[in-house]
A and B are shown apart, each in its own frame.
Chain A
Amino acid sequence: MKVMVPVKRVVDANVKIRVNAEHTAVDTANLKMALNPFCEIAVEEAVRLKEAGKADEVVVVSIGPKVAQEQLRTAMALGADRAILVETDEPMLPLSVAKILLAVQAREQAELILMGKQSIDGDNNQTGQMLAALADMPQATFASMVDITDGQLTVSREIDGGIQQLQLPLPAVVTADLRLNEPRYASLPNIMKAKRKPLDTLTVAELGVTLKPHQQILAVTPPAERKAGVMVASVEELVDKLKNEAKVI
């Protein structure tokens, strides 16, 4: 069974971002970039499926600038077998990403598409669901457990108020939540090995995908700052402030 894992290059989760002076975008120049944390969890899960003998090949795919090769190498250092970069410098909406991934899937014919539930830049949480819709595949979002037995996929999903366990036929799209696993650290030998693994580069045009504009970004602004609060000296003072000043208790 082949597993395809779409991944994204994003600003590192520990970097505090700033909106640019013109209020047109987030300033990402010279920031530390990384593999999106949810994508990393998806890669780890795919590699574990392979290690458990349930998958034969793990293919990672990214859509982005040439430097996104770094994140594909990271994914291969974690255990993915090969990588595909669909190179573009254009920012992409989730629907466009899903259309490109659909074209890649048409070539790859993966039986399972495992991906992060959202990227921590756009926070959209749309791409997996959109790809599943376009491919007419079932989906299991927010996965905290994935198992494959006799061609049937079983997934536990983290939903509001509890856990839903689903059974799905393959091929299917699964999106990873935080608690699916804890990704390993890539060892130095594996990082070296990843440099020699195959990485193919494609363009959107080569895939025959036509995209159209859907949205115009009018402004990107910082959120309203909270006014600085006060430090209280004791629990008594806190209770007094909450009762008499804030009037919330």
Chain B
Amino acid sequence: MTVLVIAEHDNVSLKSETAKVIAAAASLAGDIDVLVAGSACAAVAESVAKLQGVSRVLVADNPVYKAQLADNLAKLVVGQASGYSHIFAAATSTGKDLLPRVAALLDVAMISEVVKIEDADTFVHPIYAGNALEKVKSLDAVKVATVRASAFDAVPATANAAIVALDVVINSVCSELAHTTVASERPELGNARVIVSGGRALGSADNFAMLETLADKLGGAVGASRAAVDAGYISNDLQVGQTGKIVAPELYIAVGISGAIQHLAGMKDSKVIVAINKDPQAPIFQVADYGLEADLFEAVPKLVELI
């Protein structure tokens, strides 16, 4: 049994999700190869080589892979696929874009957002916004799956695997015109120990600054409900929920969030949930470990002061 993991990176640094996908792959007790496809991505390959459990790092380093486009990356992966029993990637926007394309070219089904691996053929993944868990047995020769990183603990960086260069250049028919990233000093949502999330009750983009102060004091990230994103208070990549980020931090503080099922789907696996809301009937209180019925504009500044 050999697993091929597709590394998640921005050509400069390796994303934290990859070490968690490798942990999922390691539960299968086979060899693990990791593919790094990018441009001028040698530093990424070196980071991958250090991760425990990695046998080989395959590096396709060429400008054609810079923008992580699915059409040529899928062909690259399929070209390397022979001999692998499993192909995994993180359930990030890149992994979700790429892996179904790989599976279709291999004529196999795919399993999305795996949260538990029972054995080499059997996987558990959420459906209906996490309101049900489906356990499926794959009948395909190659198992292709995206892994929900928050469900696995990262492997440590204690190894020194071989790095193998792949001389395969496949062009994409697409071109990247622009790529804007939202720069932030705060930890990424998927990686933060603490997340402070706000809902529509914040009332304005300016009021989100209050949550940023609290997040910074706790060394955490800022998130938001869909309602807050749709209202334009905060950028869309910070949305937590069924169609946004799925997170499981140590501490999740939901401020002014009512708790629609689509939001709960994104955060209910957090270890400790705090809800601050002035509506005692808000569904968020049903999943909160600690609920505080209060006006957020009074409670949040006080919380900042006391922590």
Asked if A218 and B237 make an inter-chain contact with CB atoms under 8 angstroms apart, the answer reads: no
Asked if A125 and B129 make an inter-chain contact with CB atoms under 8 angstroms apart, the answer reads: no
What residues of A have a CB within 8 angstroms of the CB of B30 in the complex?
A: none
What residues of A have a CB within 8 angstroms of the CB of B129 in the complex?
A: 120, 123
What residues of A have a CB within 8 angstroms of the CB of B262 in the complex?
A: 13
What residues of B have a CB within 8 angstroms of the CB of A231 in the complex?
A: 285, 290-293
A residues at B contact (CB < 8 Å): 11, 13, 16-17, 19, 26, 93-95, 98, 117-118, 120-134, 138-142, 144, 154, 157-169, 177-179, 213-223, 226-232, 234-236, 238-239, 241-242, 246, 248-249
Name the 7 nearest CB pairs between A and B, nearest first.
A214-B109, A129-B100, A126-B100, A130-B104, A133-B104, A162-B181, A229-B289
Cβ-based interface call for B168 (8 A): no
Asked if B127 and A123 make an inter-chain contact with CB atoms under 8 angstroms apart, the answer reads: yes
Cβ-based interface call for B62 (8 A): no
What residues of B have a CB within 8 angstroms of the CB of A248 in the complex?
A: 194, 250-251, 271-272
What residues of B have a CB within 8 angstroms of the CB of A229 in the complex?
A: 273, 285, 287-291
- In the bound assembly, the distance between CA atoms of A19 and B134 in angstroms comes to 10
What residues of A have a CB within 8 angstroms of the CB of B242 in the complex?
A: 120, 123
What residues of B have a CB within 8 angstroms of the CB of A120 in the complex?
A: 128-129, 242
- In the bound assembly, the distance between CA atoms of A177 and B242 in angstroms comes to 12
Q: Which one of B128, B135, B139, B174 lies within 8 Å of A167 (CB-CB)? A: B174
What residues of B have a CB within 8 angstroms of the CB of A134 in the complex?
A: 104
Q: Which residue in chain A gives the minimum CB-CB distance to B243?
A: A178
Give the interface segment out of B79-87, B156-164, B298-306.
Answer: B298-306
- In the bound assembly, the distance between CA atoms of A129 and B96 in angstroms comes to 9
What residues of B have a CB within 8 angstroms of the CB of A144 in the complex?
A: 236
Asked if A140 and B174 make an inter-chain contact with CB atoms under 8 angstroms apart, the answer reads: yes
B176-208 residues with Cβ-Cβ distance < 8 A to A are 176-182, 188, 194
Q: Which bracket fits the contact residues of B?
A: 35 or more
B127-142 residues with Cβ-Cβ distance < 8 A to A are 127-140
Known contacts: A129-B97, A139-B71, A163-B180. The answer to whether A235 contacts B292 by CB under 8 A is: yes
What residues of B have a CB within 8 angstroms of the CB of A140 in the complex?
A: 174
B residues at A contact (CB < 8 Å): 10, 67, 69-71, 74, 92-94, 96-105, 107-113, 122, 126-140, 172-182, 188, 194, 218, 226, 229-230, 236-237, 242-243, 245, 250-251, 261-262, 268, 271-274, 285-294, 299, 302-303, 306-307
Q: Which residue in chain B gives the minimum CB-CB distance to A141?
A: B97
Asked if A167 and B177 make an inter-chain contact with CB atoms under 8 angstroms apart, the answer reads: yes
What residues of A have a CB within 8 angstroms of the CB of B112 in the complex?
A: 122-126
Asked if B302 and A235 make an inter-chain contact with CB atoms under 8 angstroms apart, the answer reads: yes
Q: Which one of A123, A164, A220, A239 lies within 8 Å of B113 (CB-CB)? A: A123
Give chain A nearest CB distance to B13 CB in angstroms: 12
- In the bound assembly, the distance between CA atoms of A200 and B197 in angstroms comes to 47
Asked if A130 and B287 make an inter-chain contact with CB atoms under 8 angstroms apart, the answer reads: no
Asked if A220 and B134 make an inter-chain contact with CB atoms under 8 angstroms apart, the answer reads: yes
Q: Which one of B67, B127, B134, B290 lies within 8 Å of A232 (CB-CB)? A: B290
Give chain B nearest CB distance to A97 CB in angstroms: 11
Asked if A26 and B127 make an inter-chain contact with CB atoms under 8 angstroms apart, the answer reads: yes
- In the bound assembly, the distance between CA atoms of A214 and B140 in angstroms comes to 6
- In the bound assembly, the distance between CA atoms of A133 and B112 in angstroms comes to 17
Asked if B237 and A161 make an inter-chain contact with CB atoms under 8 angstroms apart, the answer reads: yes
Give chain B nearest CB distance to A176 CB in angstroms: 11
What residues of A have a CB within 8 angstroms of the CB of B175 in the complex?
A: 166-167
Give chain A nearest CB distance to B195 CB in angstroms: 12
Give chain B nearest CB distance to A104 CB in angstroms: 16
- In the bound assembly, the distance between CA atoms of A225 and B125 in angstroms comes to 16
- In the bound assembly, the distance between CA atoms of A98 and B292 in angstroms comes to 48
Q: Which of A118, A246, A248 has the most CB of B within 10 A?
A: A248
